[in-house]
Chain A
């Protein structure tokens, strides 16, 4: 469970991800997703908090929310 108001259509569990990493996992799902899909990316890599918004900005998708769950973060993304 998490504290976000968003109910994801797709959840990606990239906690403890090594190669090639959470953002690559997210991009793979975004490419397959219909516009308007809400994706939750679970990541334990603190770098994701800056990596992910930077890519979303480049690619034109929205970051809805970032939730700190203690030992991992949930980043909620909506595809456009």
Chain B
């Protein structure tokens, strides 16, 4: 047995190599112009052109690398359409340039971004706005995943996008996600401490909340090299068993952008840089290049992405999963009015629960008032409660 253990240790040393945080010593920094714009036929979004300089790598205590993008103001920004119309994007805050309210990108037309900064001109190609096909489905499955912070293997739900197009392929998609979930404050109150007295009060109207969050990350898929112009379960986000997200009901809203091949190349490269490093067999990292070039001086390097895309949307709802345990944000009850925790130390307007006669317990107020976890008591208009067939 001991021999076995020795062997095991060696194998572990062999297969589980060691990774630790590392901050490189000051590295050089080249200020590079970065331009980003998403133009879609989603009328709810006013297109914005972001112009910035790449942020320097600054090392900081705690091992974080911080980034402070430097906004670029004073640029002249316009978008040309192949129907010979031009839309000017006036500046709106530092580094942001926004279209006027009457500007609408239309399906079937091609657009081109032109930016002038000082005496330099930066241009994209013409990008055609293609209608996005409706998504087939969004599915989810129970998966295990290693948590990056501590390497712990955790349960959770991984969401997947499936879509197909009747157009001939290949098709290129990018998905942006936002989620809304319902959660509950766990404790029921009997009283409220107003700072001097306790008076009977219930928190029943403050317990149920809905909270929305943007899910950042790059979610892309394409049908290049496939026999059908169909995407089967391209992975989207992961929601872990920790936190309030999956406690009651969760809704994922996916916007599907039908982007161009050059935009896809950009995103694939970005993904490669973000995800595919740190392996035994890594390739050379590289400078990102997008579909925007400096036309007045081709030797100037610029990173930029101009996406013109049709959009379609799909929302799904998921109930609390039963195949694994969910750990909501923790709430602990603590007795109040004791020598260790006298009443005067309890902030005013705190809910308390009378557990047994004259024994009052309290907790973090977020455990009574769900709004303190960032949610709202108002049910969103799109929210559909569980229907019988679910």
> Do A and B form a real pair?
no
